[in-house]
Chains A and B, each alone.
Chain A
C-alpha cells in the first residue's frame, strides 16, 4: 500500500507559540488513521493545515506523492479532501439534499436541477449505506443523522480522504457505534480516514494505525493491533496514567439533595415527569440518558434556571423550589457546569477574579463591601497550587487556558466551597487524559469527605467508574436505577434507548 498523504516537517507558529513542530505523518490509502493527543497537542492545527484552513510556517504536504499548497479549503476540496468538523456547518432550515449539493449544484442551463440533485444524493447515500432521507429538514434530524449529512457532503464532492475531527464527542452511544461502523465501511470501500480523537476505546476499536501528538510534536507512531491503550496514554501524556479509579468504602449518610415527584414543562408532554430520587452524603449518583431526555431540564430545575411546575426540591434539608440560585448556593450547593467557557468562567478576566467569585462577598476576600485584591490573588494562588492548574499566575486571563486546565480551575473554585451538595455536569468532556484522571480522583475524594454528588455525564465508562448508583433518564422519567458495581455499558445503553426492564 502506498502513502496517499504525507506530511513532512510541518511547523506552525503563532508568535512565540509553537502549535506544530517538525510534524511528520504518513497515511496509507484505505486505512483509518487515528491522530491522538491531549487538548492543545496540535491535532486540530495539523488538520486545519491539511484542509487548507491555515498555512504552515514551514514543511511540506505531499498528496499522492506530489507536494501541494492549499490557499483555502476550496483547494483542499478540489484535491479530494473532505472534513467533518466538530461543530457541523449545515443550514438547519434546508433539506438534506439541499445541504449536500450546496455550492456544487447540478444545473440544467442556469437553473438548479432539483431532480438530478435529489437522485444523486439518494444514490450516494445508498452506495455508502448512509441511511438518511434526502427530503428531511436538517434542523429536525438528530445529531447522528446530521453528522451523516456532513459525511455525505464530503463524499458528494468526491472526497477520497476524510478528516473527522472529534466526531464522537457529540454522539450518544448507539449513534457512536453506528458511526464507527460507517467508518469501517468507508475504509473498506477505499476511502482514507483521518480520525482525530482523544478517546482511547474508539481508537482501539476502529483504527488501523495511530499517530500520537504531544505539545505540538509527534511522540509516537503505532500499529493499533500491536499496541495497548496504556502505551498510547504514555505517548500522549509522557507518563503513566492510571485509568482505574479507586473508590474507598464510605458509609452512606443522610439525604442531602432530595427530589420528590419533580415536574417540569407542560402537563401534556412534561420535560421531567414525576422524577424522584435522593442523593445521600458520601455517595455519587449518576444520571445517564441520551441527550434531550430531561438531563438539561433536571439541571435547570435544580439550579433555578427553570421554574419547577410540581413536586419539591430539597437542598440540605430546606425546601428550595422558589429560591434564587444564590440562595440555593447559600444552602450548600456547588456546581460544575457543562459549558465551562460560557457559563463556568469569564474568559476576559484574570484567574483571581474567576476563582474568587462566589466567595467574594465575605471576608477575607472582601470587607464591608470593599474587595481585597491581594487576598483574592492569594486565594487563587493557593487553589492553583492545590489543584495543579497549569497557569502563569493569578493575573492571567483564563480565556487562554486549555479545556482541561480551565476545568481544573472551575473544579477548584467550586469544590473549595466545601458545599455538602455537588452538582457536576460533564466534568471531563473535551478534557485531556491527565486532567480526567485528576478530576475523577478529586470527585472520589469529595465523596469520601461526605458530600452528596450528582453527576450528569454522557460518558458511560465515567459513570460506571465513579458512581454508586446510576439512574437512567428516558423521556423525562427515571426508568431504571442500577447499582454501578452490578451493571455494564450494555445494560445502561439498553435502558437509555427506552428498553423495558424485566
Chain B
C-alpha cells in the first residue's frame, strides 16, 4: 500500500509540465542536430550566445517588440476563449495608417509621430471590430471573420503602396520614407517602441488582475454558460476585447513602421510570422498575460538565436521553428489528467 506523499507530490505536479517540456525539447533538439551531422553542443551554444549575449540582446529585443506585441493581440481575446486569427490584417492596416499619417499629415514631426501611433491603433481596432461585429450581429464565427478579413486588408494595402500611394521612384511596393523627425528614436539600438510594448504588457496584466472587466473576461473564458447566466453581456465583451486586441496589433504595425522600417514595405510585416508566433505563445500561456508574454519573449530569443546559429553552423533557421512547435505540442498535451469524476 503506497501512502500519499503530500507536499513533494504537489510541487512535482506543478513543475512537471515545464520540466517535461524542457527535457523533451532538449532531447529532440540534440537528436535532430546529431542526425543532421552537426555538433549539438556547438549549435545550441551558438543559439544561446546569438540571442542572449550582451552584444546580441538588442537583436532579441528588436525581435521581441513585435512578437510580444502580437502575443498580447492573441492573448487578450484568448483569455475569454476567443481566438483572434486576424492579427496579420490588423497589424498591416495599422502600419499603413501610421505610415500615411506620418508622411502626409502636415503637422510638426513629434506630433505626427503621436498621431501616427494613434492612427495605427485606431485602424487595427476598426478592422478587429468589424470582424467582431460580424459575429455579434450576424453570427459569423469570429475564427472565420477575423482570419478572412485579414486577406482583403493586406491586399488593399499592397495595392495602395504599389500604385496610388506608393513611392513610384523606387520601383518597389512601398511608401516614401518617413520624415526624420516623425520616427521613433532608437534606444541603445532597440526600436523605441519597446517602451510602448512594455507599457502595453503592464496595462494588460493590470486589467487582467485588478479590474472587473478582467475578472469577467476570465470567467467567460472558463465557462461561457455561467458568464451569461450571471449577466455578463457577451457580445459587448467580444467587441471590447477584439477592439483592444486590434488596437494593440495596429500599434505593433505602427511601431515597426515608425521605429524599424521608416516606411511601409509590402510584405515586410508579414513574412517574419509575428502573428503566428504570438498566437503560439498565447496558446502556451492559455491567454494568461504573464505566462503568454514570457513565452513570447522566449520565442523571440529562440528565433533570434536561430539567425546566429544559421550563420555559425550549417543548421538552417527553420530548426527554431521546429523547436517552437515541439514546445507548443508538449505544453498543450494533457498529462495524465483524470477526466470525469466518481460520485
Q: Are A and B physically bound partners?
A: yes
Interface set of A (CB-CB < 8 Å, partner B): 13, 15-16, 19, 39-45, 48, 54, 57-58, 303, 324-326, 329-330, 335, 337, 339, 342-349, 353, 357-358, 360-361, 366, 369-371, 402
* Nearest chain A CB to B312 CB, angstrom units: 45
| A-contact bits for B78-111, CB 8 A (1 contact / 0 none) | 0000000000000000000000000000000000
Interface set of B (CB-CB < 8 Å, partner A): 1, 4, 6, 9, 210-216, 218-219, 222-223, 225-233, 342-343
Q: Collect the chain A residues with CB atoms within 8 Å of residue B219's CB.
A: 346, 349, 353, 357
Q: Collect the chain A residues with CB atoms within 8 Å of residue B9's CB.
A: 15
In the complex, how many residue pairs between chain A and chain B have their CB atoms under 8 Å apart? 80
Which listed residue (A16, A324, A353, A369) contacts B233, Cβ 8 A? A324
Whether A325 pairs with B342 at a CB distance below 8 angstroms is: no
* Nearest chain A CB to B236 CB, angstrom units: 10
- A19-B342, A43-B343 provided; 16 other pairs, C-beta below 8 A? A40-B343, A44-B342, A44-B343, A45-B343, A303-B229, A325-B231, A329-B231, A335-B229, A344-B229, A345-B223, A348-B223, A358-B230, A366-B212, A369-B212, A369-B213, A402-B343
Interface centre among B216, B218, B228, B343 (most CB of A within 10 A): B343
Which listed residue (B1, B216, B218, B230) contacts A58, Cβ 8 A? B1
* Nearest chain B CB to A433 CB, angstrom units: 15
Q: Collect the chain B residues with CB atoms within 8 Å of residue A41's CB.
A: 343
Whether A57 pairs with B212 at a CB distance below 8 angstroms is: no
Whether B210 pairs with A16 at a CB distance below 8 angstroms is: no
* Nearest chain A CB to B342 CB, angstrom units: 5
CA of A16 to CA of B5, assembled, Å: 8
Known: A326-B233, A360-B212. A42 touches B226 (CB 8 A): no
* Nearest chain B CB to A190 CB, angstrom units: 30
Whether A370 pairs with B222 at a CB distance below 8 angstroms is: no
Whether A371 pairs with B343 at a CB distance below 8 angstroms is: no
Known: A337-B229, A343-B226. A349 touches B343 (CB 8 A): no
Question: Does more than half of chain B's interface fall in helix, strand or loop, or is it mixed?
Answer: helix
Whether A45 pairs with B342 at a CB distance below 8 angstroms is: yes
* Nearest chain B CB to A337 CB, angstrom units: 6
Interface centre among A19, A325, A346, A371 (most CB of B within 10 A): A346
Q: Collect the chain A residues with CB atoms within 8 Å of residue B210's CB.
A: 370-371
Q: Collect the chain B residues with CB atoms within 8 Å of residue A58's CB.
A: 1
Q: Collect the chain B residues with CB atoms within 8 Å of residue A57's CB.
A: 1
Known: A346-B222, A369-B213. A16 touches B229 (CB 8 A): no
CA of A358 to CA of B216, assembled, Å: 10
Which listed residue (B1, B4, B211, B228) contacts A370, Cβ 8 A? B211
CA of A335 to CA of B225, assembled, Å: 14
Closest A residue by C-beta to B338: A14
* Nearest chain A CB to B299 CB, angstrom units: 26
Interface centre among B6, B215, B227 (most CB of A within 10 A): B215
Whether B226 pairs with A344 at a CB distance below 8 angstroms is: yes
Q: Collect the chain A residues with CB atoms within 8 Å of residue B222's CB.
A: 346-349
Whether A342 pairs with B225 at a CB distance below 8 angstroms is: yes
CA of A58 to CA of B2, assembled, Å: 11
Closest B residue by C-beta to A348: B222
Whether A357 pairs with B230 at a CB distance below 8 angstroms is: yes
* Nearest chain B CB to A372 CB, angstrom units: 9
Q: Collect the chain A residues with CB atoms within 8 Å of residue B228's CB.
A: 325
Interface centre among B6, B222, B223 (most CB of A within 10 A): B223
Whether A371 pairs with B230 at a CB distance below 8 angstroms is: no
Q: Collect the chain B residues with CB atoms within 8 Å of residue A13's CB.
A: 4
* Nearest chain A CB to B307 CB, angstrom units: 40
* Nearest chain B CB to A255 CB, angstrom units: 24
Q: Collect the chain A residues with CB atoms within 8 Å of residue B232's CB.
A: 326
CA of A489 to CA of B89, assembled, Å: 64
Known: A13-B4, A325-B231, A369-B212. A345 touches B343 (CB 8 A): no
* Nearest chain B CB to A461 CB, angstrom units: 24
Q: Collect the chain B residues with CB atoms within 8 Å of residue A345's CB.
A: 223, 226
